[in-house]
Amino acid sequence: MKKIITVGREFGSGGRELGRRLAEELGIAYYDKEIVSGIAEETDFSEGYIRGVVECTPSKLHPITIGRSFAYVGDYQLSHIQSVYSAQDKIIKNLAREDCVIVGRCADYILRDENPYRIFVYADFVSRLRRCTDRAYEGESLSEKQIKQRIRDMDKGRAKYYDYYTGQRWGARENYDLLVNTTDVVIKDIVGGIADIVKKSRA
Amino acid sequence: MKKIITVGREFGSGGRELGRRLAEELGIAYYDKEIVSGIAEETDFSEGYIRGVVECTPSKLHPITIGRSFAYVGDYQLSHIQSVYSAQDKIIKNLAREDCVIVGRCADYILRDENPYRIFVYADFVSRLRRCTDRAYEGESLSEKQIKQRIRDMDKGRAKYYDYYTGQRWGARENYDLLVNTTDVVIKDIVGGIADIVKKSRA
In a domain, B197, yes or no: no
pLDDT at A112: 95
Confidence of residue B74 (pLDDT cuts 50, 70, 90): low
pLDDT at B60: 43
In a domain, A196, yes or no: no
What is the identity of the amino acid at B117?
Y
Q: Is pLDDT above 70 for A194?
A: yes
Q: Which of A181, A185, A198 is the best residue to mutate to test the B interface, defined by the most B CB atoms within 10 Å of its own CB?
A: A181
In a domain, B75, yes or no: yes
What is the identity of the amino acid at B87?
A
pLDDT at A143: 84
Q: Give B28's DSSP letter.
A: -
In a domain, B132, yes or no: yes
In a domain, B27, yes or no: yes
Residue A120 in contact with partner chain B when CB distance is under 8 A: yes
* CA–CA gap between residue B133 and residue B148 (Å, rounded): 10
Which residue of A171, A181, A189 is in closest CB contact with B178?
A: A181
In a domain, B51, yes or no: yes
Q: Is pLDDT above 80 for B66?
A: no
Per residue in B7-18, pLDDT (tens digit) is: 999 999 999 999
State chain A's mean pLDDT as an integer: 85
User: Residue A136: exposed, middle, or buried by beta-carbon count in 10 A (0-12, 13-18, 19+)?
Assistant: exposed
Task: Give the domain CATH number at B33.
Answer: 3.40.50.300
Residues in B touching A169 (Cβ below 8 Å): none
Count the alpha carbons within 13 Å of A177 in the hemisphere toward its beta carbon.
Answer: 24
Q: How many domains does chain B have?
A: 1
Beta strand extents in chain B (DSSP E only): 4-9, 29-31, 100-103, 117-122, 178-181
* CA–CA gap between residue B132 and residue B128 (Å, rounded): 6
What is the arithmetic mean of pLDDT over A44-57?
Answer: 75
- Chain A residues 28-87 with CB within 8 Å of chain B: none
β-bridge partners, B102: B6, B31
In a domain, A18, yes or no: yes
Please judge whether A179 and B174 are an interchain contact, meaning their C-beta atoms are less than 8 angstroms apart: no
Would you list the DSSP string of B54-92? HH--TTT-HHHHHSSSGGGS-HHHHHHHHHHHHHHHHHH
Contact yes or no for B7/B121 (Cβ under 8 A): yes
pLDDT at A61: 45
Residue B15 in contact with partner chain A when CB distance is under 8 A: no
CB count in 10 Å sphere of residue B22:
24
In a domain, B58, yes or no: yes
- The structure's pTM equals 0.88
Residues in A touching B171 (Cβ below 8 Å): 173
Per residue in A72-99, pLDDT (tens digit) is: 555 667 777 788 888 888 889 989 999 9
User: Residue B15: exposed, middle, or buried by beta-carbon count in 10 A (0-12, 13-18, 19+)?
Assistant: buried
* CA–CA gap between residue A68 and residue B72 (Å, rounded): 40
What is the arithmetic mean of pLDDT over A152-180?
Answer: 92
Contact yes or no for B128/B113 (Cβ under 8 A): no
pLDDT at B160: 87
Per residue in B28-52, pLDDT (tens digit) is: 999 988 888 888 888 888 888 887 7
Query: Lowest-confidence range among A39-48, A187-196, B176-185?
Result: A39-48
pLDDT at A44: 80
Write out the residue range of the structural domain in which residue B95 sits: 4-186
pLDDT at A138: 56
